[in-house]
Amino acid sequence: MFKAPDSPYLVPYDGSFKVADAATAAAAKGRRYKGEYRRHLREEMKRLQRILAAGDRRALLLVFQAMDAAGKDGTIRAVMQGVDPSGCQVHSFKRPSDLELDHDFLWRTSCRLPERGRIGIFNRSQYEEVLVVRVHPKILASQKLPGEIDLDTIWDDRLRSISEQEAHLARNGTIILKFWLNVSKDEQKKRFLARLNDPTKNWKYEPADVRERRYWDAYMQAYEQALNATSRPWAPWYAIPADDKKYMRARVAEIINQTLESIGLRYPEPTAADRKEFAESRAELEGDSAA
């Protein structure tokens, strides 16, 4: 297992996290995700990804959760820009399909976990089952659950299942980083209005997004409970301020890079047999007159 990088945005492991105390605004001005700083982050991530792929012993799973318009898509696109696409996979999870509802709630995300040597990104995830479904428990009626549903226990049961699966994955080489992009209600309103007022952004607008704003407090309570129950040293949550998109992206990229640096990634060392084969191949190539 690995040690999560220290950060003012690391959700503590003792259950003391309070959404009301979590920052939505950038902590500093001027240090933006652009120019030399941006290129440094990207180049470092590209380097670390190559070593991760070469080693083929660990996988990296990045989980992004947020309220609508917090910037999940843009953050994934910006932070992973330049990373080798053959070593990275992004999955977006929306309303479950009939096939997915024929399995337990962890099945659809389990099917998309990254292989060793690869980076997997979840745009929304299994956590929707303790966020959206918790805010709208009527959804449970369509989930084909056995027996009578006990609303006093089902959320804790699901959170325990998620946490236990994450511990299992961590023991078997998957590094898990989870990011809650914490946008303020006022900033979300501005972004929704921008989508409505700019014809080039109309395609982003969903009437259901505005309807969900009515449940803001319920969502904040659900996030607080989920993050407290599942932020662990082997699968930490980071509550990243999301009102400034550039600042948010820089913090996410830094945490990913720091994590990969901390686990001691290195290229595989050739064995004695490998070196012997290398020498034979080199001699053959150097003596090949056809070249």
pLDDT in tens, 212-238: 999 999 999 999 999 999 999 999 999
Tokens coding 32: 């933006």
Cβ contacts of 221 within 8 Å, gap of 6 or more: 19
Q: Is the pTM of this model over 0.85?
A: yes
CA dihedral 12, 236, 137, 74 (to 10 degrees): 120
In order of 254, 278, 284, 285, 286, the CA distances from 289 in angstroms are: 50, 19, 10, 9, 8
Q: Please give the DSSP secondary-structure letter assigned to residue 64.
A: E
Rounded Cα–Cα distance for residues 60 and 58 (Å): 7
120 close to 59: Cβ distance less than 8 angstroms: yes
Say what the pLDDT of residue 33 is.
58
**Contact assessment for residue 41 and residue 102, using Cβ atoms and an 8 Å cutoff:** no
Task: Supply the Cα-derived Rg of the chain in whole angstroms.
Answer: 22
| Whether the Cβ atoms of residue 44 and residue 185 lie closer than 8 Å to each other | no
Taking the chain, what is the end-to-end CA distance rounded to the nearest angstrom?
Answer: 49
* Distance in angstroms (rounded) separating the CA atoms of residues 260 and 44: 10
pLDDT value of residue 208 = 87
**pLDDT for res 284:** 92
**Unique residue bearing structure tokens 């992206």:** 249
Phi, psi of 89 (to 5 degrees): -140, 135
What is the predicted pLDDT for the residue at 111?
97
Are 114 and 61 a contacting pair, CB within 8 Å? yes
Backbone angles phi, psi at 84, to 5 degrees: -60, 115
Write the DSSP symbol of residue 81: T
Helices (H) and strands (E) in the chain, counts: 11, 5
Domains defined for the chain, CATH in brackets: 19-286 (3.40.50.300)
pLDDT digits (tens, 9 = 90+) for 102-156: 999 999 999 999 999 999 999 999 999 999 999 999 999 999 999 899 999 999 9
Residues of the chain with pLDDT under 70: 1, 29-37, 290-291
